[in-house]
Structures are given as C-alpha cells and as structure tokens.
Amino acid sequence: MENIISAKNIYKFYGEYDGKFEALKDINLDIKRGEFIGIMGPSGSGKSTLINILSTLDNHTKGNLFINGQDISKINNKELSDFRMKNIGFIFQNHNLLDTLTNRDNILTPLIIAEKGRDESNRIVVELAKKLGIEELLDKYPSECSGGQRRRVAIARALSNKPNIIVADEPTDSLDVKMAMEVIETLKRLNIEDGMTVILVTHDQLIGSYCDRVVLVKDGKLENEIVREYKNGEEQIEFYRKVVNLTSKNIEDLLGVI
Ligand code: ADP
Ligand code: MG
C-alpha cells in the first residue's frame, strides 16, 4: 500500500536563545493510506507535537515530510492550507465546538469556509448526522448535549469536507468509558467502511487496541511499535495485551523496575 504521509528524520526544536528544547528527535514514520495508526506515550513525550507536524498544522525544524509523495517544503502556504482543507479532518482534545451555534451550524462551518453551496451543504450535514446517529441533535446547542454527543458532532464537523485523513488528538480524553467507546467505534467504522486514514493520539490502552498499529513516543523519539496481525487472526483482546505491554514498559522505567 502506498504511503499517504512519510516523515524522514524529523526534528522539532522549541525555543531559540535561552535554551533550545528538542521536542522531537529523528522521527521516521510512514503512514499507509487507509491505515488506523495510534500514537501513544507518556504525557509530554511529544505526541501532540508529532501529530501536529504530520498533519501540517505545525512546522518541523529539520528533516522531510512527504504527503502523497510530495515534499511539503516545496509547497507554498496557500497550497498547504488548501491541501489541509480538502484532505484532513481535525478532531481536537477539547472538541472546539462554538457554543453560540447550533450543532447543525457548527458542522456547516467548514462547508461555508470552503464555499460549498447551501443545498449541497445541507445535504452533507443530514447525511453525516445519519451516519453518526446525531440527527436529533442538529438543532440543539453543544451545551445541551452530553460529552459523547458533542464529540460525535465534532467528528461530523471534521468529516464535512470529506477528508481522507482524520487526525484526532486524544479524542476520548475526559469522556466516560461508554462515550469513549462510542467515539472510537465511530472512528473505526469510518476507517473500515470508508477507507479513511486515521491518525490518533491516545494514552488510553483500550482505545489504542482499536488501531492497526501503535507507535510509542518517548522523550521525543519513536521508541517502539506494534502491529496487529490480522493475517494471523489476532483478536483485538490479544492486541490490547500488546498495547498494555508496550505502554507499561514506560511505567516500569519510571518506577525503576528492571
Ligand atoms: P504530549 O502531547 O505527548 O503530552 P507535547 O507534544 O504537547 O507532548 O509536548 C512535548 C514537549 O514539548 C513537552 O515537554 C512540552 O512542554 C514541550 N512543548 C510543547 N509545545 C511547546 C511550545 N509551544 N513551546 C515550548 N515547548 C513546548
Ligand atoms: Mg498532547
């Protein structure tokens, strides 16, 4: 399968004069079209920095980033923002819905920015609402919805421009288990049914077990990765155990367990 995103020797430095901080060090990562990849690791390890760079929201300091085989350093800002608008749907940690707009208008916002016609936009909203089971919520305000419902509205908004990549930074953070499962199962369905590439940051092992592959970030480096062996019939529960193993190594390190 072809790579949709390819990071080669990526570094990210924060700060210039009073002490440079290396947030990412020599990251090499290929993400295949249609893949569901998880990025895990302790707090402060560089997960958000990495996902922001992979999705072109932030600039890297050194190295090369290729999207659809094209080196993004050779693309101007206008082309890059067009690319983002057409290809990537973002789901942020704090869902970022506007409280003064109804859910319908929140979902419509990216379509208005993209200057889609009113009829087509309304059709897209209804179609997405059906897919995400939020038809009854369209005329409510975000503040009238539960946490899980708001995340689903945020997913609908992220999908309204029909992206082929979904980038989600801790989309289930601060949700209870049931709501978190609703969100992750929605993302999994979009991945399987529509072939969307999903790049997900999470520190939740159960959420990680929905991925095809999980990479572990530690101190700004890609430390390790595990892949779900669908070919060998590996069940999600077995992959979950691998995720637990992978991420608990960190805890053991922190506790000084050998
Ligand atoms: P994570 O998402 O894994 O919790 P982040 O990518 O947010 O980690 O941060 C990685 C490291 O980079 C942290 O030590 C954080 O303090 C630092 N960092 C993140 N953003 C900035 C910034 N804008 N300026 C300086 N340091 C930053
Ligand atoms: Mg983060």
Residue 143 has pLDDT above 80, yes or no: yes
Residue 141 has pLDDT above 90, yes or no: yes
Going from N- to C-terminal start, the domains of the chain cover 3-96+170-255
Stated pTM of the model: 0.91
Of the bound ligands, which one is closest to the alpha carbon of residue 171? Answer: 2
pLDDT over 70 percentage in the chain: 97
* Structure letter (DSSP) for residue 209: T
* CB of 49 closer than 6 angstroms to any ligand 1 atom: yes
pLDDT over 90 percentage in the chain: 66
At residue 182, the pLDDT reads: 85
Residue 162 has pLDDT above 90, yes or no: no
> Which residues sit with Cβ closer than 5 angstroms to ligand 2, an ion?
48
Ligand 1 atom 22: residue of nearest CA:
14
* CB of 230 closer than 6 angstroms to any ligand 1 atom: no
Q: Per-residue pLDDT tens for 177-221?
A: 888 898 899 899 999 999 999 999 999 999 999 999 999 999 999
3-class secondary structure, 124? helix
Residue 129 has pLDDT above 90, yes or no: yes
Average pLDDT over residues 56-78: 91
Residue 257 has pLDDT above 70, yes or no: no
At residue 20, the pLDDT reads: 86
Do 222 and 27 touch, CB atoms closer than 8 A?
Answer: yes
Distance between alpha carbon 168 and the CA centroid of its chain, in Å? Answer: 2
Residues 6+ apart with CB under 8 A from 88: 55, 56, 163, 165, 166, 167
| Rounded Cα gap, residues 14 and 20, in angstroms | 6
CATH superfamily ID and name for 3-96+170-255: P-loop containing nucleotide triphosphate hydrolases (3.40.50.300)
Ligand 1 centroid – CA 185 distance (Å)? 28
3-class secondary structure, 136? helix
Q: Per-residue pLDDT tens for 233-251?
A: 999 999 999 999 999 876 7
Letter for the amino acid at 148? G
